[in-house]
């Protein structure tokens, strides 16, 4: 059934004669069910014309004081002429009005004067197919998608003009129409195109999908249509570094909210002029939201930094833990870039043994995202086969939220270390045994000299929960420590010129130094351990 009623007839007639497309006419008549919008454009147009002609006689008898047909049909033109003279009186500079009047005389109804073609060709199957070809060629793996569409900024201006016109015309018929009764262009576009996209790509449209297809429309007459707003509301159009034009959608909306109705009417024709051109497609872009991979790593080298070690632009060591892991992930996930994070970090010369250190990697804009647990296992194997400096375990896909577990309560966690210690004085077994009995030793650590360039100066209290010694020879022993996370172990051994108190040297009354340090365990129970 044709969705317009007798009440809509006058407005529909007016809009059609001024170059508005049938779908925009539906929108401004408040048609809020989807089916009529989905009809083929040509069919819609002829249905609409039939409706406007056929019921003309019946209409006359239904409306108490119908304006004579002749006048009514002329009205749109009168309106345009009236607007022209108003605009020229107001702002003679506006080329929009000159162009508009000429195009209205040519009665060029091809490109809709409100949607600039968005609800015409850009809703048709042919266009949707073109977009879908791009999506398929992009090489992304997806099982659903979210569609984002960006329209040229002046659509809001034209929409506003059409709304003022419709409101006024409805008022003349003692009918009221609220701004919210009009169907938004975006909504109508969605109703028409979502089923087409879904059908063409064979996946559902899902607002929560991580795969986003964005279509950006532009129009050559944006500046022409919008510049009067800048004259009235210069504050709304301040140049921004990352914007090519001051006429952004947000700025235009802001200005439209500020401008008074009568001022708008003086500056912009209601109904809007027919445009010279149709919208262009500025870009069709696909992007996939980040995915996250977590695991635990061991580091067996005393010559490998955790992250690339670069001083004054010069690389000090050729590799790093994060690169040895992430390079493989980048390739397999076909991602653009990555972000590495971990539960704490070790120095370049410190090994991480035991169960390893939890880490997580964010893969940005990945093209491949679906993996079986077998494939992830193989990926882990590949990483482990490629280097003897690191090993990875418990590699798995995780959610963004889960990464929080790794950082949660990091300060309260404990870590265990093994240190090889040298003393200047000769020692016997009995000289170190007392360390085994010390429990929950409180130490004060001033920010170590070696990290002062990147950490603020502070005194932190840390706890050495327990120690265990193993005598090696007269000048060496091994010390196993269980400490609060965040303890500087090297400084606890040598004292850092008295900045850490007490320290092994002061406790033993010797000069002590640390020759080797290993992290034996990081007590964070995330990510979950996997079989094998
Ligand atoms: Zn339209």
Q: How far apart are the CA of 35 and the centre of ligand 1, in A?
A: 16
Q: What is the pLDDT of residue 385?
A: 97
- What is the tens place of the pLDDT at every residue in 141-163? 999 999 999 999 999 999 999 99
The answer to whether the beta carbons of residues 299 and 321 sit under 8 Å apart is yes
Residues in a beta bridge with 217 = 281
Q: How far apart are the CA of 53 and the centre of ligand 1, in A?
A: 21
Query: Residue with structure tokens 């059934």?
Result: 1
SS (H, E, C) 410-464: CCCCEEEEEEEEEECCCCCHHHHHHHHHCEEEEEEEECCHHHCCCCCCCEEEEEE
Query: Residue with structure tokens 């969605």?
Result: 190
The answer to whether the beta carbons of residues 486 and 460 sit under 8 Å apart is yes
And the tokens for 237? 């159009």
Q: How far apart are the CA of 89 and the centre of ligand 1, in A?
A: 29
Catalytic, 440? Answer no
Q: What is the pLDDT of residue 409?
A: 65
Closest CA to 149 of 283, 241, 47, 304: 283
Q: How far apart are the CA of 113 and the centre of ligand 1, in A?
A: 7
- What is the tens place of the pLDDT at every residue in 362-378? 999 999 999 999 999 99
Q: How far apart are the CA of 130 and the centre of ligand 1, in A?
A: 21
Q: How far apart are the CA of 184 and the centre of ligand 1, in A?
A: 11
In this prediction the pTM is 0.79
Specify the length of the chain in residues.
532
Catalytic residue among 347, 349, 431, 436: 347
b/e for 415-449, b at 16 or more Cβ within 10 A? bbbbbbbbbeeebeeebbeebeeeeebebebbbee
Q: What is the pLDDT of residue 67?
A: 42
Q: What is the pLDDT of residue 56?
A: 53
CA 518 – CA 64 distance, rounded (Å): 94
How many Cα atoms sit within 13 Å of 85 on the Cβ side?
5
List per-residue pLDDT tens for the chain, 532 residues long.
789 988 899 999 999 999 999 999 999 999 999 999 999 998 999 999 999 987 555 544 444 444 443 333 333 433 333 333 333 333 322 223 333 333 333 333 489 999 999 999 999 999 999 999 999 999 999 999 999 999 999 999 999 999 999 999 988 888 887 888 899 999 999 999 999 999 999 999 999 999 999 999 999 999 999 989 988 888 888 887 777 788 998 999 999 999 999 999 999 999 999 999 999 999 999 999 999 999 999 999 999 999 998 888 888 888 999 999 999 999 999 999 999 999 988 999 999 999 999 999 999 999 999 999 999 999 999 999 999 999 999 999 999 998 888 877 676 788 999 999 999 999 999 999 999 999 999 999 999 999 998 899 999 999 999 999 999 999 999 999 999 988 999 999 999 999 999 999 999 999 999 999 999 998 888 899 997 6
- Three-class SS of residue 531? coil
Q: How far apart are the CA of 8 and the centre of ligand 1, in A?
A: 17
């Amino acid at each position: 059934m044709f969705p317009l009623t007798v009440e809509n007839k006058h407005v529909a007639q007016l809009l059609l004669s001024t170059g508005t497309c049938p779908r925009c006419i539906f929108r401004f008549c408040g048609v809020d069910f989807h089916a009529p919008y989905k009809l083929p454009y040509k069919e819609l147009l002829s249905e609409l014309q039939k409706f406007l002609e056929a019921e003309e006689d019946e209409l006359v008898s239904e409306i108490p004081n119908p304006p004579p047909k002749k006048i009514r049909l002329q009205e749109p033109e009168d309106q345009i002429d009236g607007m022209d003279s108003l605009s020229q009186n107001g702002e003679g500079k506006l080329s929009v009005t000159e162009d508009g009047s000429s195009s209205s005389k040519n009665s060029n109804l091809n490109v809709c004067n409100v949607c600039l073609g968005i609800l015409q060709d850009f809703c048709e199957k042919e266009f949707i197919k073109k977009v879908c070809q791009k999506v398929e060629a992009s090489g992304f793996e997806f099982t659903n998608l979210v569609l984002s569409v960006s329209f040229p900024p002046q659509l809001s201006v034209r929409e506003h003009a059409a709304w003022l016109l419709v409101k006024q015309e409805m008022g003349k018929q003692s009918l009221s129409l609220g701004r919210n009764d009009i169907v938004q262009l975006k909504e109508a576009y969605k109703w028409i195109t979502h089923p087409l996209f879904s059908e063409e790509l064979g996946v559902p449209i899902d607002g929560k999908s991580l795969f986003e297809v964005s279509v950006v429309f532009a129009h050559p007459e944006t500046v022409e249509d919008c510049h009067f707003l800048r004259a009235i509301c210069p504050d709304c159009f301040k140049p921004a570094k990352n914007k090519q034009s001051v006429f952004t959608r947000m700025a235009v909306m802001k200005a439209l909210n500020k401008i008074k109705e009568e001022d708008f009417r003086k500056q912009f024709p209601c109904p809007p002029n027919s445009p010279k051109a149709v919208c262009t497609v500025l870009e069709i872009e696909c992007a996939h939201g980040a995915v996250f991979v977590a695991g635990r790593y061991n580091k067996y080298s005393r010559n490998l930094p955790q992250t690339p070690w670069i001083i004054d632009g010069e690389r000090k060591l050729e590799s790093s833990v994060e690169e040895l892991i992430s390079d493989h992930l980048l390739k397999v996930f076909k991602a653009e870039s990555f972000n590495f994070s971990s539960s704490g970090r070790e120095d370049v010369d410190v090994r991480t043994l035991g169960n390893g250190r939890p880490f997580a990697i964010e893969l940005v804009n990945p093209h491949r995202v679906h993996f079986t647990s077998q494939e992830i296992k193989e990926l882990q194997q590949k990483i482990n086969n490629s280097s003897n400096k690191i090993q990875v375990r418990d590699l798995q896909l995780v959610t963004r939220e889960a990464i929080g577990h790794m950082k949660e309560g990091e300060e309260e966690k404990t870590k265990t270390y093994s240190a090889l210690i040298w003393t200047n004085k000769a020692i016997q077994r009995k000289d170190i045994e007392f360390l085994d009995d010390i429990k929950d030793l409180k130490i004060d650590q001033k920010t170590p000299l070696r990290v002062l360039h990147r950490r603020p100066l502070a005194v932190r209290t840390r706890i050495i929960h327990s120690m265990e010694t193993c005598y090696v020879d007269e000048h060496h022993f091994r010390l196993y420590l269980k400490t609060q996370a965040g303890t500087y172990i090297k400084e606890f051994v040598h004292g850092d010129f008295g900045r850490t108190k007490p320290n092994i040297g002061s406790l033993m009354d010797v000069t002590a130094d640390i020759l080797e340090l290993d992290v034996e365990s990081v007590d964070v129970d995330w990510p979950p351990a996997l079989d094998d």
